[in-house]
Amino acid sequence: MQTFQHPRQMREHLDALRHQGHTIALVPTMGALHEGHLQLVDEAARHGDTVLVSIFVNPTQFGPNEDFSRYPRDLESDRAKLQQRGAHLIFAPTPELMYPEGAATRVCVQHLTAHLCGPLRPGHFDGVATVVTQLFHIAGPCTAIFGQKDFQQLAVIRRLVRDLHMPVHIVAHPTVRDSDGLALSSRNAYLSTDERQRALCIPAALQQVHDAFHSGIRTPARLTQCATSHIAPRVDAVDYISLVCPDTLAPLRDDIPQHHSALLAVAVRIGTTRLIDNILLSTAPSPVFPRSAQGTKPPRPTSPC
């Protein structure tokens, strides 16, 4: 398993593989890999002959008061996990290599970023759209795998690829959860034992909303209130608990129509840690609540809505 640092060398290596007939599947990450990332690697192996994992803590997607400097970084540990999981190549550039001197280009996706995390993290999605565009240019035509936990990021990247006619196929992978139900995230490492215990209110509330939806409740205010009543007392701040259209991410005001789906998205702070999670509410027959890493279900909330 080879590691590349220079964008040009990475691209040349991939071009040579493509010339031999290989297809490429890319898993963009910021490192600090957990089982959620590794399931993306498994998914990638189903879509490409060569599985490429990028590891880059992208400075332009962090705000000035966010956790760029303390974001967990451990390339050696990440490399060992990827080796074991059968990834073929790692691309781990430096900020100086990704953003050359005088860099002045930004890719912006409007509308979708006016909702949910967008207004709370100014510039975040421009940073994401820019680095993902860079990575797609370096990786070349490929399939790229993203997790559904970052639902808004996934929506932004799908839009970006469509609007700019990028030769990239996007695959979404369901959120992976720990045995206690908490969505896997590199930021979970920041949580104390008590904070982590409190964080379990999030998957419990999502399960509760899921059950309420499937019991026939379609009113946005009732579904949102169901989540809020479980979450708000247990966290230090609620950034948002919103029921939105999965396509536009705009808040839903009216009852969810028959055969339409909705996304309940949550962002909270527990201590100094910001956590996000979401659940897609759909009457489609596919299983709705995402799988857990260990195959167990998230805990039931202690009281119904």
Residue 291 as a binder of a copy of itself (CB under 8 A): the answer is no
Shortest Cβ distance from residue 162 to a copy of itself (Å)?
Answer: 6
Select the span of 34-42, 81-89, 125-133, 201-209 touching a copy of itself (CB under 8 A).
Answer: 125-133
Q: Under a CB-based contact definition with an 8 Å cutoff, are residues 184 and 178 in contact?
A: yes
Question: How many Cβ atoms sit within 10 Å of the Cβ of residue 118?
Answer: 20
C-alpha of 50 from chain center: 22
Residue 16 as a binder of a copy of itself (CB under 8 A): the answer is no
Return the half-sphere exposure (C-beta side, CA atoms, 13 A cut-off) of residue 281. Answer: 31
Q: Residue 292 carries which DSSP code?
A: B
Residue 162 as a binder of a copy of itself (CB under 8 A): the answer is yes
Nearer to a copy of itself, 194 or 247 (CB): 247
Query: For the chain, what's the residue count?
Result: 305
Nearer to a copy of itself, 102 or 287 (CB): 102
Nearer to a copy of itself, 80 or 108 (CB): 108
Q: Under a CB-based contact definition with an 8 Å cutoff, are residues 142 and 270 in contact?
A: no
Which of 74, 163, 194, 236 binds a copy of itself (CB under 8 A)? It is 163
Site string for a copy of itself, 72-111 (x = CB under 8 A): --------------------------xxx-xxxxxxxxxx
Nearer to a copy of itself, 134 or 273 (CB): 134
Residue 188 as a binder of a copy of itself (CB under 8 A): the answer is no
Which of 29, 39, 58, 134 binds a copy of itself (CB under 8 A)? It is 134
Nearer to a copy of itself, 61 or 133 (CB): 133
Task: Examine the residue annotation and report whether 37 is marked as an active-site residue of this protein.
Answer: yes
Q: Under a CB-based contact definition with an 8 Å cutoff, are residues 239 and 259 in contact?
A: no
Identify which of 254, 284, 25, 240 has the alpha carbon closest to the alpha carbon of residue 151.
Answer: 240
Which residue in 13, 37, 169, 259 is the catalytic one?
37
**In the block, residue with structure tokens 């997607």:** 61
The structure tokens listed for 247 are 């396509």
Q: Residue 296 carries which DSSP code?
A: P
Q: Under a CB-based contact definition with an 8 Å cutoff, are residues 189 and 249 in contact?
A: no
Shortest Cβ distance from residue 238 to a copy of itself (Å)?
Answer: 27
The phi and psi torsions of 207 (rounded to 5 degrees) equal: -65, -40
Please give the span between the terminal C-alpha atoms of the chain, in angstroms, as a whole number: 50
Site string for a copy of itself, 229-268 (x = CB under 8 A): ----------------------------------------
Question: In angstroms, rounded to a whole number, what is the distance separating the alpha carbons of residues 17 and 15?
Answer: 5
Which of 13, 34, 159, 187 binds a copy of itself (CB under 8 A)? It is 159
Select the span of 41-49, 51-59, 137-145, 171-179 touching a copy of itself (CB under 8 A).
Answer: 137-145
Which of 7, 59, 246, 271 binds a copy of itself (CB under 8 A)? It is 7
Shortest Cβ distance from residue 274 to a copy of itself (Å)?
Answer: 25
Angle at 46 between CA 40 and CA 47, to 5 degrees: 90
Question: In angstroms, rounded to a whole number, what is the distance separating the alpha carbons of residues 71 and 67?
Answer: 6
Question: How many Cβ atoms sit within 10 Å of the Cβ of residue 15?
Answer: 11
Catalytic residues: 37
Which residues are at the interface with a copy of itself (CB under 8 A)?
7, 11, 98-100, 102-112, 129-130, 133-134, 137-138, 140-141, 159-160, 162-167
